[in-house]
Amino acid sequence: MNARPNDTPILRAEHFTKYLSGRKILDDCSISIYPGDVKVLIGPSGAGKSTFLQCINCLLEPDEGEIWLGDRKVDVRNTRELCELRQHVGMIFQDFNLFDHLSAEDNVALAPRKVRGMNKQEALKRAHAELRRVGLEDKARLYPAELSGGQKQRVAIARALAMDPTVLLLDEPTSALDPELVGEVLTVIRDLASHGMPMIMVTHQMEFAQAVATEILFMEQGRVIEQGSPDELLAPGSQTRTQDFCVRLHDLCGGEAAAQE
């Protein structure tokens, strides 16, 4: 699984540093994505995971660092290059961020129409294909306010896929969902991973991460402090910070579940 092809990665983010209101949130973080990679970022809250993710497609502009798309360096100050980078990098948000005034199909069709200049009919056809892929073709005409959280997140995934991204960034895609809705979203993500869609994902779903990740990056205080395959980092008794964190996370969730019963 770790055997690297010799060619260049699809996307490289190198030496990212980011300050927010005077505080150093990211400190020299790097990540590179090869075809088929599923990289999972974990760590305590405030570790800079979401900031790192948002710097990769420049929703937050990193103060230092370089972004490489294949073997080409992206000039993020150049609007055209920036928009092109973002077309290659799909993003899924914790709170979905569907366009509230558009139906599911129009949510998916908007960017293909505006950014790629597809005509309305073509774009809607594409939208229906993507909605079918996430199992929501029958909800195409509903508005976000009429969908459940899990359905909203699946529409958001369809929306990102309609731009044919080469990498998907997922920022805690299931954290805002009711527990019984988490499964349907994870199923879609697992399906994408098994079809070889490269992803970088921030999540607290450790079992899921362990199952799909090719590599886990553990972040704390703005730095990637551990990095390796799930088997290495999460092996019982491996004495890694990652393993320690996961045990504590598990205890916490286990305790909560017990309290509810």
Partner 1 sequence: MLDFLDPTFIFDRAIPYLNQGLLMSLGLIVPASLIGGFIGVVMGVLRVFGSPWIRRSVDSIVAVIRGVPLTVQLMILYFGLPSVPGLKIYLSPYAAALIGFIVCTASYQSEYVRGTLLSIRQGQIKAAQALGMTRWQTIRSVIVPQAIRRALPGCGNEIIYLVKYSSLAYIVTCIELTGEAKILVSRTFRPTEVYLIAACYYLVMVSAATWLLARLEKALAIPGFGVQK
Task: Return residues touching partner 1 (CB under 8 A).
Answer: 54, 57, 59, 79, 83-84, 86-87, 89-91, 93, 95, 97-101, 110-111, 114-115, 142-146, 156, 159-160, 163
Write down the least CB distance from residue 184 to partner 1, Å: 21
CB of 260 to partner 1, least distance (A): 30
Report in angstroms how near the CB of residue 45 gets to partner 1 at its nearest: 19
- Residue 202 CB, shortest distance to partner 1, in Å, is 15
Closer residue to partner 1 in complex, CB, 79/239: 79
How far apart CA 226 and CA 238 sit, in angstroms, is 12
> Based on CB atoms, which residue is closest to partner 1, 70 or 228?
70
Rounded Cα distance, 72 and 68, in Å: 5
Strand partners, 224: 219
Length in residues, the chain: 261
Q: Would you state the structure tokens that stand for residue 181, as one six-digit string?
A: 């809705």
Q: Which is nearer to partner 1, 129 or 176 (CB)?
A: 176
Q: Closest distance between partner 1 and the C-beta of residue 91, in Å?
A: 4
Angle between helices 149-161 and 179-194 (to 10 degrees): 20
Closer residue to partner 1, CB minimum distance, 58 or 188: 58
Residue 12 or 159 having the CB closest to partner 1? 159
Nearest Cα neighbor of 114 from 135, 94, 87, 132 is: 87
Residue 89 main-chain phi, psi, to 5 deg: -115, 105
DSSP percent split of the chain into helix, strand, coil, nearest 5: 40, 25, 35
Phi, psi of 63 (to 5 degrees): -75, -35
